[in-house]
Amino acid sequence: MRPDRGADEKPDGPGVHAGAKIHLYHCDHRGLPLALISTEGATAWCAEYDEWGNLLSDENPHHLQQLIRLPGQQYDEESGLYYNRHRYYDPLQGRYITQDPIGLKGGWNFYQYPLNPVINVDPQGLVDINLYPESDLIHSVADEIISQAFSQSGGMVPPHLLNPQRAVS
């Protein structure tokens, strides 16, 4: 967990000034903040996101400014995009809007965000990182679900799995 001073509290020099409020992050398995908890244990801010990092809902009664998104990302209020140190990510498209700065070393698709954002992250905007080893149960469950979906649809992609917002031409 990381401390947060909130939107309107700023430190006075290297320490924290006397009026600062400390909040602790409560994150999901990927590091996406879900709540800010006060030192008294009260929820000061909470949010719900989809798997691509789109904000679905939030409760912010104290008007805290919480800009952290998926690992390595910071919300850019001016553009509505997420800055990933090396490039910008658009959660509505589920991909980067700027090319991969390492070129083909990052893969053939210069704009690709990890194809499975539930088990992969890309904290620097350079290469995706798998959060679970290949031997982990989550991979075999995901493989089984995918293979069943394809066999039940006669080898075609079932319509409910298609999402044109995620398609990359």
* 149 located within any domain: no
Predicted local distance difference test score (pLDDT) of residue 55: 93
Q: What is the pLDDT of residue 81?
A: 94
The sheet with strand 82-83 has its strands ordered as: 74-75, 82-83, 88-90, 95-96
Q: What does the pLDDT read at residue 102?
A: 67
Q: What is the rounded distance in angstroms from the CA atom of residue 76 to the CA atom of residue 87?
A: 12
What's the average pLDDT block by block, 10 residues per block, for the chain (169 residues)?
46 58 90 93 94 92 91 92 89 85 67 73 73 68 62 56 44
User: Taking the alpha carbons of 27, 120, 149, 160 in that order, is the dihedral positive or negative?
Assistant: positive
- Helix, strand, or coil (residue 150): helix
Q: How many CA atoms lie within 13 A of 149 on its CB side?
A: 12
8 Å CB contact between 74 and 83: yes
Q: Provide the domain count of the chain.
A: 1
Is residue 62 included in any domain, yes or no?
Answer: yes
**pTM of the entire structure?**
0.60
Looking at residue 57, its pLDDT comes to: 95
The C-alpha atoms of residue 65 and residue 23 are separated, in whole angstroms, by 12
Residue 39's pLDDT is 92
pLDDT at 85: 83
What pLDDT, on a 0 to 100 scale, did the predictor assign at position 38?
92
DSSP code for 22: -
- Say how far apart CA 6 and CA 37 lie, in whole Å: 11
Instruction: Tell me if 90 is assigned to some domain.
Output: no
42 falls within a domain:
yes
Parent domain of 8: 1-66
Instruction: For residue 58, tell me if it sits in a domain.
Output: yes
Q: Is residue 60 part of a domain?
A: yes
Q: Looking at the domain assignment, is residue 72 inside a domain?
A: no
Please report whether residue 56 resides in a domain.
yes
